[in-house]
Each structure stands twice: as structure tokens, then as C-alpha cells.
A and B are shown apart, each in its own frame.
Chain A
Amino acid sequence: MSETRYTGDHEWVRVESDTATVGITNYAQEQLGDVVFVDLPEAGTNLEKGAEAATVESVKAASEVYAAVSGEVIEVNEALTDEPGLVNSAPEADGWFFKLKLSDPAELDELMDAAAYKDHCAGLD
């Protein structure tokens, strides 16, 4: 069973036991436009919550992706190297960024659920 949580900075975190898959939301990719490059962390990197984890580059600008939760990077989405557009076409599925082994699962409680995130986005428009 998995559950997806969201940050106010438009990242999603999908949790399965002690592993979290992280990406950016559909709202975020719509705002960014065509993604042309994703600079991913290296496997083995320990990320503190809030640290810079990745950079997503659209045609015009670079945006940082911050670690929504703390943990060790155990896998990155190599498919993004050749096909960064997956972030646009499937942001919350094949366009995932990296997987973390959670070091403090309690941090998940601070994130939003889908309904709260939807309200959050609605408040931005």
C-alpha cells in the first residue's frame, strides 16, 4: 500500500514501507514548461530535509528541487537523462526523480495529503 504526500513547493512523495519516491507535481510542470534537463543527485547521497536535491531546467530557467524529507538516495530515474520530457508528460508517474530510504518517517506527517495540496494550489491561482 502506498500513500502520496505533497509539499507546498510542489513536490510529491510516494511512500512504500521505508522507501519514498520523489518527483514534482503536475502543477509544477505546467508552470515550468518544457523540461530539457534534470540534474539528479547521486545514489548514496544523504539528503537532509530542505536541502537542495535536484535541479530541473526548462527552456528558460533552472529551478531547485528540495528534499521534502530526509534520507539516503538509493535510486535515481536514469530515464530522465535521455527523456527529460517525462517530467512534463508523466510528472507523477514515469517522471519521478529519485528514491530515498527514509531516515525519519515522522517527517511525512508534516506534508500535505492530496486534498490539502489541491486546496493549496487553488489558493495560488
Chain B
Amino acid sequence: MRPYIWGWRPTEGVKPPILTEGGQSLRFGDRGGFEPPATQVGGAFEAPEGFVPNPMTDTPTTDTAAATEALPTPLLALHRELGGKLVDFAGYLLPVQYPAGIMAEHKQCRAAAALFDVSHMGQVELKGAAADAALERLVPGELQKLAVGRQRYTFFTNDAGGILDDLIVARLPDRLFVVVNAACKTADIAHLRAHLPDIELKPLTDRALIAVQGPKAVQAVARHAPAATDLTFLSIADMEVAGIPALVSRSGYSGEDGFEISLPAAEAEAVARKLLAEPEVEPAGLGARDSLRLEAGLCLYGHDLTPETTPVEAGLTWAIGKRRREEGGFPGADVVRRQLAEGPPRRRVGLKPEGRAPVREGAALTDSEGKTVGVVTSGGFGPTVGGPVAMGYVSAGLAETGTGLFAEVRGKQLPVTVAGLPFVQQRYAKSSATGGTR
């Protein structure tokens, strides 16, 4: 057996991801989810026979290792101490799992609470008069009406309406706070600087980001930050966590209630230890983060969202403000508005494979006549679902829930059914401060 454990087997038909302007390849990070990384750090595994490294996403393991050495996050020592299996993920050394394993970590998050290190993600502050209106020139989200203490999901678009990255924008009393994907952050910052020269932009490279996710996250976090209970889903505020000044939002990437805590890198390990000492909380790695977000129907950038997919195709039209639809004024607005009016050629859908075999990214989707009608962009095993789950893009006419299709896996056509997303109901704390929507 050759366990190319965190790899993927490349499949024809997967579009290459983005190039930066200089043609330099990017490794994809995420909103926290799992990226098949290039290197099994410290491991000795080989790729499957016939494996062709994807020059866009895979880093050679040897010859340029020095040039691409993964960076530590402020919690690296803690990950090692906890027995994390470390991988190079979007240029950072992060645990794909701890000794408990992906399945247990996933279930822990759904049942109680899990702590994730997401310090690899890009944290950026924007200041300046009308920073909101300026940022709107690059994204289709309604930012001018974003209230203080609230955050909103949006995406950078290109002139074809394709998605360059997805991000969260928060409004604080004196600034905007933006969180972008790890592997896109360099390009995103260059993009912001190039197009918004009048805005004061500050990458927060000296801060960690810790996510505590799960139905019991609120109890655990509240013991160290009582003000956290005042937050509702997508609210954000400066507050102390275990005595450390932090920026806390009620958000995440698991489909569960939870928090993301931005704090000084130097204090991150001490705070993480205090949170992990709570009886509700166990550490979880990138593997569980990916299976959690997939069950929750959340997109992973570089996989479910790319420069070739539009927000309309991706089913993210809810994130396009009404005024923005009418006025446009963001890159690719003409394409997006046309697709809103006429419908997109293809749509992102959930896919439920029959049987037990996982259907993974890159698998071609065909109709009953064998015609290729789409591709799987994320797929794996859903521990809460107890079976395989996937999402992908299909021709718009086949996007209706219940449509029967086939996914090609190892030369076999496995039946899959178009399914509604999410696979597992999201349980965000939308209304009451301490409760959830459960």
C-alpha cells in the first residue's frame, strides 16, 4: 500500500487553479478547510503510482524544499506536544489530525466543542474614510450598510465574475477587519493595494486565530470571556479572553455555533491551553475541519470556488447585496447580473453517493446516457452523516434535488443523487445570545 495520505489523485477535467500575475503558483489555503498538501512533513510516503504532481498545488518534496519550507504558527509547539500529525498546508505547518483521529475530532465538534488553529489565515485591517465604499469596488457585498460589530461573507471577483477568494469583512468602530484564505493572502493584499491605494491597509502578521466550534463552545469560551455570550452569529467585538485583549467573532466553518478569536501571537498558546483545559473542548485538525465544513455545505476556496466559478453558479447569490445587484460597480458585475437574470450554465449542488464508497474531488459526473455533465469539487466521508458526501458543479438543468447522476470512481460509474445542502443542519446562534437555533 502506498498511503499518499493527505494527497489526492489528480483527475482529468479538474481546472487548474489560479496563477498570480507573475505566473507564480499558489498553494491553496482555505477558510480553514482541508487542502491536500504537498508534503507529508516528516513522513515517508509516496504518491500513488502514476501520480502527477499538480504544479499549482503540490510542492515538490525534495528539490525545492528549502524554498518552500512551511512556516510555523504560534501554536506549533502545542500541536507537537498534543501529538498532531503535521502537514504543510498553504505554506504553514498545521495538524491534519491529533491522536484521536479525524472521525473522533469531527464528532467531538458536533457533540461538544473543538479547538482549531486557523492562524494561517490572513488577517487584515483597513482604515480610512469610506473604506467600506472603496472595498465595495472589489466585492459584490453590501458593505456600506454593514453595522458596527457585524461581519459579512463576500468574495473578490474578477472581470469575468469569477471568484478570486472568499473573505469575511467585519466592521469595528474605527476600522474594517478582513479575514482571507491563507494561500490567497499575498495575492489578496496585492490586489487591495493595487486597487485601493487611498485606503490604509495593515496585514496583521503578529496575530494568531483560534476557532472554538461546537454546541458547547459558548460555555467554554464564556468562562474566559463572559462578553462572548452577548455576540450572536456573525457579530464581533473587542474583548478580553483569559485576560488577553482579543477580537472575538461568533462565526466559524463547521456549521456549528462557535467563535473565532484573533489575538496576539505571543499570547496564543497560553490562551489555547486555557480553552483546551475546559472539559467541553478537545483539539481538532484540518481533516475534521474539512469534513465538518463539507457536511455543512460550506465552500472551500480553490476547490468549490475558483476564478472560473461565479457567485451565481456557486449558489452564493444571497451574499450579493440588493443595491449591488442593481448598481453593479464590482469586477464582473455584468456577468453576474446577466446570470442572475438568465440563470447560470451550471450550478453547485450537494451530491449523495449511494453505497459506501466515497466520491472525491475530480470525479467526473455523467448522466444516464454517459454524457459528462459535471465534476465533483469536494467529496469524502461525512462522519455525522455516516456515509459519503460530496459537492460539485452540474449543468443547470440537472441541478434539481433528487436528480440521479453517476460519478466515475476507479473506472466504475457509481450512482449519486443531487441533494440539498447542507447535509447536516447548521446550528448557528442567530437569535439569542447564549442559545442557538437548535
Verify if B101 is at the interface (C-beta below 8 Å from A). Answer: yes
The answer on a CB contact under 8 Å between B381 and A61 is no
Docked-complex contact B1 and A37, CB < 8 angstroms: no
Please, which residues of chain A bring their CB within 8 A of the CB of B358? 36-37, 57, 62
Interchain CB contact under 8 A, B1 and A61:
no
Q: Which of A62-88 contact B (CB under 8 A)?
A: 62-66, 81, 84
Q: How far is the CB of A67 from chain B (nearest CB, A)?
A: 11
Most buried by A among B9, B103, B383, B388: B103
Pair B287/A33 contact, Cβ less than 8 Å: yes
- A10 with B6: in contact, given A37-B358, A39-B410 (CB under 8 Å)? no
Tell me if A52 counts as interface (CB < 8 A to partner B): yes
A112 within 8 A of B: no
Query: Whole-angstrom distance between the alpha carbons of A39 and B355 in the complex?
Result: 12
Interface residues in B99-124 by Cβ distance below 8 A to A read 101-103, 106
Task: Collect the chain A residues with CB atoms within 8 Å of residue B49's CB.
Answer: 52, 64, 66
Contact of A10 among B3, B36, B97, B101 (CB under 8 A): B3
**Interface presence of B45 (CB below 8 A):** yes
Smallest CB gap from B42: residue in A:
A125
Is A39 a contact partner of B357 (Cβ separation < 8 A)? yes
Q: Which of A11, A52, A61 has the most CB of B within 10 A?
A: A61
Which residues between 44 and 71 of chain A lie within 8 Å of chain B, taking CB atoms?
52, 55-66
Shortest beta-carbon distance, B363 to chain A, in Å?
Answer: 11
Q: How far, in whole Å, are A57 and B1 apart by their CA atoms in the complex?
A: 12
- Whether the pair B101, A60 counts as a contact (CB closer than 8 A) is no
A15 CB contacts on chain B under 8 angstroms? none
**B8: Cβ under 8 A from any A Cβ:** yes
| Cα–Cα distance between A119 and B9 once the two chains are bound (Å) | 29
| CB under 8 Å from chain A, chain B span 359-392 | 360, 380-381, 383, 388
Which A residue sits closest to B4, measured CB to CB?
A63
Q: How many residues of B contact A (CB 8 A)?
A: 34
* A11 with B7: CB separation less than 8 A: no
- B102, A34: Cβ atoms under 8 Å? yes
Q: Is A3 an interface residue (CB 8 A)?
A: no
Given contacts A37-B358, A57-B358, contact A31 B5 (CB under 8 A): yes
A108 is an interface residue with CB less than 8 A from chain B: no
Q: Which residues on A sit within 8 Å (CB–CB) of B43?
A: 31, 124
- Specify which chain A residues have a CB less than 8 angstroms from the CB of B380 in the assembled complex: 59-60
Q: Are A57 and B3 in contact (CB under 8 A)?
A: no
Known: A24-B1, A31-B43, A60-B102. 14 other contacts (CB 8 A): A10-B1, A31-B3, A36-B356, A57-B357, A58-B5, A59-B291, A60-B34, A60-B96, A60-B291, A61-B6, A64-B1, A66-B2, A66-B49, A81-B356
* Residues of A participating in the B interface, judged by any CB pair closer than 8 Å: 9-11, 24, 28, 31-34, 36-37, 39, 52, 55-66, 81, 84, 123-124
B contacts, CB < 8 Å to A? 1-9, 34, 36, 43-45, 48-49, 96-97, 101-103, 106, 287, 290-291, 356-358, 360, 380-381, 383, 388, 410
Subset of 11 A-B contacts with CB under 8 Å: A33-B101, A33-B287, A36-B358, A56-B1, A59-B291, A60-B5, A60-B291, A61-B8, A61-B36, A63-B5, A66-B1
